[in-house]
Amino acid sequence: MERRDFLLGMGIALVSASAYSFGNSLKPLIDENLGKTALIYGTRYGATEDTAKWIAKGIGDGVDILNIENINFEEVVDKYDKFIIGSGIWIDGAHKRLMELLSMHTEEMESKIIASFIVCGTTGEDEAGKGRIEGYFKRFHKPLAVKPKIQRHFGGRMIIEKLSEKDRKLLDNFYTKVLKKEFVSWDRTKPEMSEKFGVELLGEKIAIL
């Protein structure tokens, strides 16, 4: 082999070797970061679950969607670096098990919660509604000294035939006697708006990537 070819060959080998090792040194970083954000949601009738999935779609890869009813608290708290928490609102309150998670693991979680969202019937179109939504967030975040920087509320849904008998009776009474409104089914979920929120979160560089 000519000296020039030899040197050229060595050069190519060195470049490939360093590219290989650069690739390898990046790999654990990327792998580590993938799946390190958990979107944990609490739902009863499905609107919060749907909203969680639409938000995750906006974020893209790198977020695990977890139903609070199916997780082991310790495992999840250990595994993830960032959390997005979301809950439906029933009689003024968030999901009981999600509240338990926040109360039991406050210190490990509070600085890692990058966003929270609620799914409810209150629209926030008037001042009274805005105040009620603020109250829901306050109660939802009560265990946390550090509040999530980003908060968003979404419309939920209520399909009368899907409600448990107890909820149906309670709500029928509430609508007809307190609100003095006809008790009818409604759906205020917004797939596009929820997905857009996910895109916004990604734009906030929520350290998924």
Ligand X SMILES: Cc1cc2nc3c(=O)[nH]c(=O)nc-3n(C[C@H](O)[C@H](O)[C@H](O)COP(=O)(O)O)c2cc1C
Is there binding between residue 124 and ligand X (CB under 6 A)? no
Shortest separation between residue 196's beta carbon and ligand X, angstroms: 19
Is there binding between residue 91 and ligand X (CB under 6 A)? yes
Residues of span 158-187 touching ligand X by CB under 6 A: 158, 163, 167, 170-171
Shortest separation between residue 156's beta carbon and ligand X, angstroms: 2
Shortest separation between residue 130's beta carbon and ligand X, angstroms: 12
DSSP-based three-state secondary structure for 125: coil
Is there binding between residue 46 and ligand X (CB under 6 A)? yes
- Residue 40, strand partner residues: 66, 85
Residue nearest to ligand X (CB): 156
Please state, in angstroms and rounded to a whole number, the distance separating the CA atoms of residues 67 and 72: 10
Closest to ligand X by CB, 4 vs 166, is 166
Shortest separation between residue 171's beta carbon and ligand X, angstroms: 6
Residue where the block lists tokens 């799946």: 35
Residues 48-77 as x/- pattern, contact with ligand X by CB under 6 A: x-----------------------------
Is there binding between residue 156 and ligand X (CB under 6 A)? yes
Position among 54, 80, 90, 117 found at the interface with ligand X (CB under 6 A): 90
Please state, in angstroms and rounded to a whole number, the distance separating the CA atoms of residues 195 and 54: 5
Is there binding between residue 120 and ligand X (CB under 6 A)? yes
Pick the piece of the chain touching ligand X (CB under 6 A) from 11-19, 82-90, 177-185, 190-198.
Answer: 82-90
Which pair of tokens denotes residue 147?
A: 């509040």
Please state, in angstroms and rounded to a whole number, the distance separating the CA atoms of residues 112 and 1: 59
Pick the piece of the chain touching ligand X (CB under 6 A) from 53-61, 66-74, 90-98, 194-202.
Answer: 90-98
Please state, in angstroms and rounded to a whole number, the distance separating the CA atoms of residues 202 and 80: 17
Positive/negative CA dihedral, 175, 180, 185, 188: negative
Pairing of strands 186-187, 157-158: antiparallel
DSSP-based three-state secondary structure for 206: coil
Residue where the block lists tokens 């409810």: 120
DSSP 81: S
Binding residues (CB under 6 A) for ligand X: these are 43-48, 88-92, 119-122, 156-158, 163, 167, 170-171
